[in-house]
Amino acid sequence: MTRRRLSIVALFVAMVGILVIPSTIVAQQGQERVSICHRDGRGQFHLITIAVSAVPAHLAHGDHFPQPFYVDSDGDGFGNPADTVTACVAPDGYVTNGNDCDDSNAAINPGQPEVCNGLVDEGVTITLYRDADGDGYGNPDVSIQACTTGNGYVTNADDCDDSNAAINPGQPEVCNGLDDNCNGLVDEGVTITLYRDADNDGYGNPDASIQACTMESGYVSNGDDCDDSNAAINPGQPEVCNGLDDNCNGLVDEGVTITLYRDADNDGYGNPDASIQACTIENGYVTNADDCYDENPWAFPGQTEWFTEGRGDWYWEGGDWYWSYDYDCSGLEEQQWTDLYGGSCYQLNWWSPTCSSIQPGWQDSIPECGNVGVWVIGCYWVGYPDFCSLGIGYRQQACH
């Protein structure tokens, strides 16, 4: 019966909007009566005991269950959670909340802003960093939380060596093997680049360099050597003809070689289309490029001999191929015999066996180089019946 009545009370409480079920009800679940705060006609509340079944009616008329109140010793409106009473109305010096964390100090409660005063101070302290060397820059590995600065601490953590006042972000970088300005780099922008000079010719190896503060033995400030194992090779050397880049300009034997031309037919004249660069005359080469056909030793500039056979190559002209006879490299073909015979052949007088004289030459036309034609030698006495007749022979045209 008691559990059923309590269920009815709980249901009613939920219906009228009372969200907190008083501990008095829970504590008296095994009883048939419960304490409740009843409001009398003057509007004052008194603690009375009623049957559980009467609870819904009392609650509907404004009665309520007793509730806890918390002492507010410092009068700041927030109660001490460790000092509480249960009553119908708040006694003097009591409040409905128990949220104070120091009921002896009215300046400490949930309604106050946090100030930096050594009392917890969450969110209001500043982080300070140890400045052991007094240079104004703090050690990022040694910090505290405080309300004010001073006492060997600063607000920045920018020092990279808190034992040396000459090392901090405000210092200029100097060449000493240290990170003077705390930027994570050592001697940046203040070193000099030196290059290894193994052959001591005053020119350094561009592939072997160091960073240093001052000149060091065996090193120079330039990286201009192209062979640091040979003191005779460097930009200060003259170029000589030896197959090496003596002056380190990237070229070999520039300006000191001679141009030689192939003389395949050993006639002393070179082929202009076959040349080499060399330091001295080489076998099978000459210094001139005057040959016009390097496969025939009889073909060369200034040739005065005449030839009835082509020199060995052909040329195209007028829709046909012709054998070349340009033995003297003049670019022209000169014929040895170019005269046609002149005059007429007859008996000078009837009583004498004497014939006229004529100019020797070709009888009909001048033949091409290498061709055979009829050559008139002269006018000769042959007796009756012709008396005088042409003397002729066959001749092959020669050229060069």
> What are the pLDDT digits (tens) for 143-193?
999 988 888 999 999 999 999 999 999 999 999 999 999 999 999 999 999
User: Residues 95, 72: contact at Cβ < 8 Å?
Assistant: yes
Q: How is 360-393 classified by DSSP, letter by letter?
A: -EESS-PPPTT-EEEEEEEEEEEETTTEEEEEEE
124 or 287: which carries more pLDDT confidence?
Answer: 287
User: Residues 352, 361: contact at Cβ < 8 Å?
Assistant: no
The per-residue pLDDT for 210 is 96
Of 19-33, 86-100, 123-137, the poorest mean pLDDT is in 19-33
pLDDT-derived band at 120 (thresholds 50, 70, 90) equals confident
Cα-to-chain-centroid distance, residue 170: 33
In eight-state DSSP terms, residue 307 is B
The per-residue pLDDT for 124 is 74
Cα angle 112, 114, 120 (rounded to 5 degrees) comes to: 125
User: Residues 221, 204: contact at Cβ < 8 Å?
Assistant: yes
Both tokens of residue 283? 């076998």
The per-residue pLDDT for 66 is 95
Give dist(CA 23, CA 17) in Å, integer.
17
The per-residue pLDDT for 55 is 93
Show me where the domains of the chain are located. 2-65, 113-190, 347-396
In eight-state DSSP terms, residue 185 is -
Q: Is the pLDDT of residue 328 over 60?
A: yes
Other Cβ atoms closer than 10 A to 203: 24
Both tokens of residue 282? 């080489």
The per-residue pLDDT for 116 is 80
The verdict on pTM exceeding 0.75 is no
The per-residue pLDDT for 31 is 53
